[in-house]
């Protein structure tokens, strides 16, 4: 057996990480925005799920242009969410329950209202000027064609300096200059400060973009990238039991073996999106909607399972705050909502890697359809303006937003059937999904066959069964476009998963039962039908040698 897997420092290989989007989690003061006291009040709920760590999207001081991913002070909490004292209570209360808190760190950029940038933009000879990325140019003629992820040019003119600054994201998110050693030192000190406050780890936002080379139009995987990440790791992470997860849209299995090298030289694991963009049309923006081909999903999952086994570590997820809800995307958010939600869970939780459970996913929460002026996400708001100006109809813009808009995943958590789903006593910052009377935590906690209880069983299973951690992976009947089946094999056990990705009854592949053992978990209350998989049916078999 892989020795590294027994190392206590690798606790996160056996764990499930719950992600909280704090704005939408639980509001305690009636201002319509979730807050830290709200998170504290739900720690018992989180503990019930059996997760070991919680990643919380940014709550630092911020003008909230990108809901906190624009930080104006890394070492303070935004009044929207509470105070630093609230944060200390949260760290302590979580710790008392054996739950680690993973801080979401945005190291690629700050807010344009961060003290560093306020100084940097004053003049070219300000000591902080070089902390950001500047290029000369003429007003109206940016240095090159680089575009912001949220639309428009990635360059913004500053009159005082007669220069442009780079912003890969919104104009209020200027890029930090990692080539300046003072910047790196300041960030490492700040990270260390959070370790001293009791943080259990870090999720590193767009970490693959820190070493950008704008003159070559390079954003991800710049020449110095892994040198900087190694330096950061050496300074802050090494020899600790922190979990560090790098968000890297650009990652390939090859680069992932660097990011998550088992020697600990970079990060614990990589968080990459190859499987989750498979319904994107090649070369097209995410807004042009395609469909999923199941064999593509198998190919991508299989590739990552094989290529990282023993040489790296991956994150497993269907949802986060940037993507639509999986049941609405590739499952069924109507009649078979519960079956499809449990099916996705079953397929994912049998794989090697660390699963991430995004708030509401444990309830099978769905996408929403709002009026065009009810969306709040900066990416969506910019899209509406841009596409209207380009002559698109509101109807076609809405079709894209319904399918891919980030607010789909950001509607308030559905706690119970009371007004506003028990999320707030006030006016929620983003409308609550109207289906909360049917879909909510209170109801699912009580019901043995709920999506929530299915997740609890899967999380417990992962803790129990070593084969999920280190077994080999093989596809069963790869070519089938309706059924995903695979086998994980170790010396002492075989775990087999078979799942119907369609809303029809399909033929159950007999090959699944070769060496499969007992049915351990399924997503239908009544017993399986021989030779058939029902709509979105998933079965998990376990054999102990």
Tokens of 265: 């030289």
Among 206, 316, 347, 459, binds ligand TEU (CB under 6 A): 206
Tokens of 307: 């290529």
**Any contact of residue 313 with ligand TEU (CB under 6 A)?**
no
Q: Which does 129 bind (CB under 5 to 8 A by kind): ligand TEU, Ca ion, none?
A: none
Q: Is 203 or 457 the residue whose CB approaches ligand TEU more closely?
A: 203
Q: How many residues are present in the chain?
A: 545
**Any contact of residue 279 with ligand TEU (CB under 6 A)?**
no
**Any contact of residue 35 with ligand TEU (CB under 6 A)?**
no
Tokens of 175: 């890029």
Q: Is 267 or 459 the residue whose CB approaches ligand TEU more closely?
A: 267
Identify residues 202-231 at the interface with Ca ion (CB under 5 A): none
**Any contact of residue 65 with ligand TEU (CB under 6 A)?**
no
Question: Whole-angstrom Cα distance, residue 178 to residue 182?
Answer: 9
Residue least distant from Ca ion (Cβ): 35
Please give the distance of CA 252 from its chain centroid, rounded to a whole number: 17
Whether residue 380 contacts residue 401, with contact meaning beta carbons closer than 8 Å, is answered with yes
Output the smallest distance, CB 28 to Ca ion, in A.
6
Contacts of 239 (CB under 8 A, 6+ apart): none
Convert residues 14-53 into a mask of x (bound to Ca ion by CB under 5 A) and - (unbound): -------------x-x-x-x-x------------------
Question: Which DSSP letter does residue 432 get?
Answer: P
Q: Which does 75 bind (CB under 5 to 8 A by kind): Ca ion, ligand TEU, none?
A: none
Output the smallest distance, CB 432 to Ca ion, in A.
15
CA 118 to each of CA 72, 105, 139, 403, 431: distance values in angstroms, whole numbers, following the listed order: 10, 20, 20, 38, 34
Question: Which DSSP letter does residue 431 get?
Answer: P
Q: Which residues are catalytic?
A: 205, 247
Question: Whole-angstrom Cα distance, residue 177 to residue 182?
Answer: 10
Pairing state between β 100-105 and 53-56:
parallel
**What is the rounded (10 degree) CA torsion for 50, 355, 231, 226?**
180
**Count of positions on this chain that bind ligand TEU (CB under 6 A):** 13
**Any contact of residue 169 with ligand TEU (CB under 6 A)?**
yes
Q: Which does 245 bind (CB under 5 to 8 A by kind): ligand TEU, Ca ion, none?
A: none
Output the smallest distance, CB 377 to ligand TEU, in A.
9
Q: Is 35 or 65 the residue whose CB approaches ligand TEU more closely?
A: 65
Output the smallest distance, CB 205 to ligand TEU, in A.
5
Contacts of 291 (CB under 8 A, 6+ apart): 279
Output the smallest distance, CB 306 to ligand TEU, in A.
27
Tokens of 296: 């593509």
Pairing state between β 17-20 and 73-77:
unpaired
Convert residues 455-494 into a mask of x (bound to ligand TEU by CB under 6 A) and - (unbound): ----------------------------------------
* First-last CA distance in the chain: 16
| Buried/exposed code over 479-501 (b: 16+ C-beta within 10 A; e: otherwise) | ebeebbbbbbbbeebbbbbbbbb
Q: Which does 169 bind (CB under 5 to 8 A by kind): ligand TEU, Ca ion, none?
A: ligand TEU
* Number of Cα atoms under 13 Å in the Cβ half of residue 63: 14
Q: Which does 205 bind (CB under 5 to 8 A by kind): ligand TEU, Ca ion, none?
A: ligand TEU
Residue 290: CB atoms within 10 A of its CB come to 13
Q: Is 29 or 532 the residue whose CB approaches Ca ion more closely?
A: 29
What's the maximum distance between 2 C-alpha atoms anywhere in the chain? 76
Among 66, 78, 86, 175, binds ligand TEU (CB under 6 A): 66
Pairing state between β 354-358 and 17-20:
parallel
Output the smallest distance, CB 90 to Ca ion, in A.
14
Q: Which does 230 bind (CB under 5 to 8 A by kind): ligand TEU, Ca ion, none?
A: none
Question: Which DSSP letter does residue 250 get?
Answer: T
**Any contact of residue 249 with ligand TEU (CB under 6 A)?**
yes
Identify residues 130-149 at the interface with ligand TEU (CB under 6 A): 149
Q: Which does 266 bind (CB under 5 to 8 A by kind): ligand TEU, Ca ion, none?
A: none
Q: Is 276 or 461 the residue whose CB approaches ligand TEU more closely?
A: 276
Q: Is 504 left (phi over 0), alpha (psi -120 to 50) or beta?
A: beta
Residue 37's SS3 state is helix
**Any contact of residue 106 with ligand TEU (CB under 6 A)?**
yes
Q: Which does 69 bind (CB under 5 to 8 A by kind): ligand TEU, Ca ion, none?
A: ligand TEU
**Any contact of residue 379 with ligand TEU (CB under 6 A)?**
yes
Q: Which does 206 bind (CB under 5 to 8 A by kind): ligand TEU, Ca ion, none?
A: ligand TEU
Whether residue 361 contacts residue 335, with contact meaning beta carbons closer than 8 Å, is answered with no
DSSP characters for 361-423?
GGGT-------GGG---HHHHHHHHHHHHTT--HHHHHHHHHHH-GGGGTSPP---SSGGGGS
Question: Whole-angstrom Cα distance, residue 100 to residue 194?
Answer: 13
**Any contact of residue 317 with ligand TEU (CB under 6 A)?**
no
Identify residues 333-362 at the interface with Ca ion (CB under 5 A): none
**Count of positions on this chain that bind Ca ion (CB under 5 A):** 5
Among 124, 235, 238, 286, binds ligand TEU (CB under 6 A): 286
Q: Is 149 or 477 the residue whose CB approaches ligand TEU more closely?
A: 149
- Determine phi and psi for 19, rounding to 5 degrees: -105, 130
**Any contact of residue 402 with ligand TEU (CB under 6 A)?**
no
Q: Which does 31 bind (CB under 5 to 8 A by kind): ligand TEU, Ca ion, none?
A: Ca ion
Task: Tell me which residues touch ligand TEU (CB under 6 A).
Answer: 66, 69, 106, 149, 169, 205-206, 249, 286, 321-322, 379, 406
**Binding region for Ca ion (CB under 5 A):** 27, 29, 31, 33, 35
């Amino acid at each position: 057996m892989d020795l590294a897997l027994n190392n206590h420092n690798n606790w996160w290989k056996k764990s499930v990480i719950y992600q909280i989007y704090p704005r939408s989690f639980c509001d305690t003061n009636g201002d319509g925005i979730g807050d830290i006291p709200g998170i504290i009040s739900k720690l018992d709920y989180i503990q019930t799920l059996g997760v070991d760590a919680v990643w919380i999207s940014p709550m630092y001081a911020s003008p909230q242009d990108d809901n906190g991913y624009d930080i104006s002070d890394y070492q303070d909490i935004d009044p929207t969410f509470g105070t630093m004292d609230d944060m200390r209570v949260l760290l302590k209360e979580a710790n008392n329950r054996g739950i680690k808190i993973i801080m979401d760190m945005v190291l690629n950029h700050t807010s344009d209202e961060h003290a560093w940038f306020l100084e940097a933009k004053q003049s070219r000879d300000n000591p902080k000027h070089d902390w950001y990325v500047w290029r000369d140019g003429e007003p109206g003629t940016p240095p090159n064609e680089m575009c912001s992820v949220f639309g428009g040019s990635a360059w913004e003119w500053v009159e005082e300096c007669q220069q442009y600054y780079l912003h890969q994201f919104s104009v209020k998110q200027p890029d930090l200059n990692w080539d300046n050693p003072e910047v790196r030192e300041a960030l490492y000190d700040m990270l260390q400060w959070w370790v001293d406050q009791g943080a259990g780890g870090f999720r590193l936002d767009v970490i693959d973009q820190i070493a950008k080379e704008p003159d070559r139009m390079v954003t991800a995987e710049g020449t110095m990238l892994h040198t900087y990440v190694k330096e950061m790791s050496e300074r802050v992470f090494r020899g600790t039991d922190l979990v560090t997860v790098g968000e890297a849209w650009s990652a390939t299995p090859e680069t992932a073996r660097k990011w998550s090298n088992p020697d600990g030289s970079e990060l614990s694991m990589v968080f990459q999106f190859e499987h989750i963009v498979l319904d994107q049309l090649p070369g097209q923006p995410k807004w042009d909607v395609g469909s999923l081909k199941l064999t593509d999903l198998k190919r991508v999952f299989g590739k990552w399972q094989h290529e990282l086994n023993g040489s790296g570590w991956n994150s497993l997820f269907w949802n986060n705050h940037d993507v639509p809800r999986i049941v609405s995307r590739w499952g069924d958010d109507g009649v078979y909502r519960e079956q499809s939600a449990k099916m996705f869970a079953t397929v994912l939780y049998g794989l090697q890697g660390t699963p991430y459970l995004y708030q509401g996913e444990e309830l099978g929460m769905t996408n929403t359809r709002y009026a065009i002026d009810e969306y709040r996400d900066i990416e969506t708001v910019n899209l509406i303006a841009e596409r209207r100006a380009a002559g698109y109809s509101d109807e076609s813009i809405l079709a894209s937003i319904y399918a891919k808009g980030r607010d789909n995943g950001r509607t308030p958590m559905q706690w119970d059937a009371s007004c506003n789903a028990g999320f707030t006593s006030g006016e929620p910052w983003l409308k609550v999904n109207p289906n909360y009377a049917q879909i909510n935590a209170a109801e699912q906690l009580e019901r043995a066959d709920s999506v929530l209880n299915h997740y609890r069983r899967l999380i417990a299973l992962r803790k129990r069964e070593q084969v999920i951690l280190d077994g080999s992976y093989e596809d069963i009947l790869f070519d089938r476009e309706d059924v995903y089946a695979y086998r994980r094999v170790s010396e002492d056990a075989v775990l087999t998963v078979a799942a119907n990705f369609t809303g029809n009854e399909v033929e159950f592949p007999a090959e699944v039962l070769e060496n499969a053992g007992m049915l351990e978990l399924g997503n239908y209350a009544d017993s399986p039908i021989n030779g058939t998989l029902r709509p979105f049916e998933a079965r998990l078999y376990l054999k102990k040698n």
